[in-house]
Amino acid sequence: MNNFGNKIRELRKKKGITQEQLASVLGISPQAVSKWEMSAGYPDVSLIPVIAGYFEVSLDVLFDYDAAQIGQKVEEILEEAGRYFWGNFAKAEGIYLSGIEAYPGALKLKNELLTLYECHMRNNGRMELADKAVALAEKILSETDDWFILTNTKDSLASIYKMCGRYEEAKKVIHSMSVLWPMQINDRMRSAAFILEGRDRLEGTDDLKPYLHQDLFCICDLEGQGYFEIGEYEKALKSFRESAAVIELFLKDGTITPDAYPIPGTESNHCATVVAAAACLYKLGRLEECEEELGKAYRIVVESHDPEELASDPDCFLAYRESYHKHGLDEYKPCI
């Protein structure tokens, strides 16, 4: 209510009345009005709608509430914190917490803070963040019924539970989530693709196609991971090969080059899923085919990077190595 006094003074002067005249209308003392305007006191809550009615303004105007302005400030806080998200955890956390203190209703800030905790737990082993991450997730869930915020928060909470070894709790959270088919979410891309015609339709399909392409090769890969984890290697191999085939279907000109992938970074998915297929072949005792898949994965890395980048950046082979170790190929032979 810091701006309440200024707003009362502004409205009173706009109406052309004195403090005494306003006090007379409201049935209070002129001293009370003076205190309001100096932010030394505030009216009884029962008077607030009377004051708003007298000046013919909404409560938002009376309290100088500007949702657009607050939204802009929240976005500025998000942008500032984002600059430190990976490089300086303490700085990013401090910015988010200060923003939440200033705008306690800004669920975007709380969601991003939760994402900060989850990402640093998963990527940097910061397991000491678990308790406050869980507490923050539970607070967000208690404060909103917004479907998107609920699902994002539950997804993060389930991930945090799993990292903490609380698998059944993670499973329970996920089972509490709704099933919503992607095509039931109407946005500009989908509506343009399904409703408009000709070039207008193509704008929607061109925008949407890469997202659906990514969803398809990712879900094939995840299906393969599931089969691999329960030892059904034939089914896992089929799923991994489907994932690679979907990626290859969308290569520009059908060949692997540094700019062949419609979504930057897909070369890592391509390489990793081919290595996973090689692991299935190893488990099935098909060693010659395993070698062929590993050779293909190696070529994907080489052909999808510029020679200079390949020579200077050891992380070019990161997806290859991580998938190799993850799928137990070390028992076959050391990673190249």
Burial 79-99 (b: 16+ CB within 10 A, else e): eebeebbeeebeebbebbeeb
- What is the pLDDT confidence band of residue 66, given thresholds at 50, 70 and 90? low
Side-chain half-sphere CA neighbours of 231 within 13 A: 0
Please determine whether the domains at 67-180 and 188-331 fall in the same fold group of CATH: yes
Among the four given CATH numbers 1.10.10, 1.20.58, 1.25.40, 1.10.287, the one describing domain 188-331:
1.25.40
Q: What is the pLDDT of residues 69-117, one digit of tens each?
A: 778 889 999 999 999 999 999 999 999 999 998 888 889 999 999 999 9
The third-level CATH classification (topology) of the domain covering 4-62 is: 434 Repressor (Amino-terminal Domain) (1.10.260)
Return the CATH number of the domain spanning residue range 67-180. Answer: 1.25.40.10
- CA 272/CA 71 separation, integer angstroms: 40
Q: What is the pLDDT of residues 39-64, one digit of tens each?
A: 788 888 888 888 888 888 777 777 76
What residues does each domain of the chain span? Answer: 4-62, 67-180, 188-331
- Residue 7's closest CA among 45, 36, 46? 36
